[in-house]
Structure 1
């Protein structure tokens, strides 16, 4: 009731929103060389303080990894965005993740898309860092400017694309 009074995150098609409450950090500082060195594309990362994961962009879900640690979203602007939950978490075979979307679903930026059991991830010696990358940034020649680091709430504007 009265959902129209609930404030939705403001998302612009050239933005990436925080996928979780936590601490936003530059992607080149995370402990995963594939992501930190840009091999997967340009992006941002959040060390979560909550188990809830939210869509950082609006678009269509193109992929949910069989191990539930990754979700792909394609935006109307042609950006392919990967939300990767944790570092080396593929080895956990999906156990600490509950994905709330399916391939083919349309999502809005700020919509809850998954839950990560951070305690279970960390008990297995893994990091629960949530990584968001544009996997087709090299072909698009996009650049990404980090606009916020430190403590963030999900839906906070984290980065802006430029061309």
Structure 2
């Protein structure tokens, strides 16, 4: 009877969130900002970027773009809310060093160019250019695995998750 019950259970396969930037993935706990390292906004991972392009980590809809272009929010097609935060304290740059390539309400495929950020300009301003990829509605996630090491934007898996 137990094997029959399994036939009717919904499959719980893992989904992936791709690295939004080329660089090196690190755990959120390594980020020198208590809001992110303390997972106040949600859980995820970060990329220390070596490239300027910021690609969509999932297929979904652009929900919000910060007026200062330092953050973009997406809703994945399976309902996760994902915050892509570009750098620490970069809100103070008031958009300098960022260029947006999408608009609110636009549906994009994983790997679509969302933004460009001038990593050197951010560093020159004395700021950390680390890019954070945060799931803000963690109540929808039953299991989350983050990966570390080298990343290639739009190709390397940064996070894998199983929905609740």
The number of aligned residues is 150
* CA contact 2:141–2:161 (8 Å) conserved in 1: no
* CA contact 1:89–1:126 (8 Å) conserved in 2: yes
Q: What are the Cα deviations for residues 17-61 of structure 1, in whole angstroms up to 9, with x where unaligned?
A: 011110000111111111111001011100001011111111000
Q: Structure 1: which 5+ runs fail to align?
A: 1-11
- SS of the aligned residue for 1:122 comes to helix
What TM-score results when the alignment is normalised by the length of structure 1?
A: 0.87
Q: Structure 2: which 5+ runs fail to align?
A: 1-12
What TM-score results when the alignment is normalised by the length of structure 2?
A: 0.87
The equivalent of 1:159 in structure 2 is 159
Structure label with greater radius of gyration: 2
Superposition CA RMSD, Å: 1.4
1:69 to 1:15, Cα distance in 2 relative to 1, 3 A: same
- SS of the aligned residue for 1:127 comes to coil
The equivalent of 2:144 in structure 1 is 144
The equivalent of 2:120 in structure 1 is 119
- SS of the aligned residue for 1:87 comes to coil
* CA contact 2:45–2:159 (8 Å) conserved in 1: yes
1:94 to 1:70, Cα distance in 2 relative to 1, 3 A: same
Q: Distance in 1 between matches of 2:116 and 2:80?
A: 24
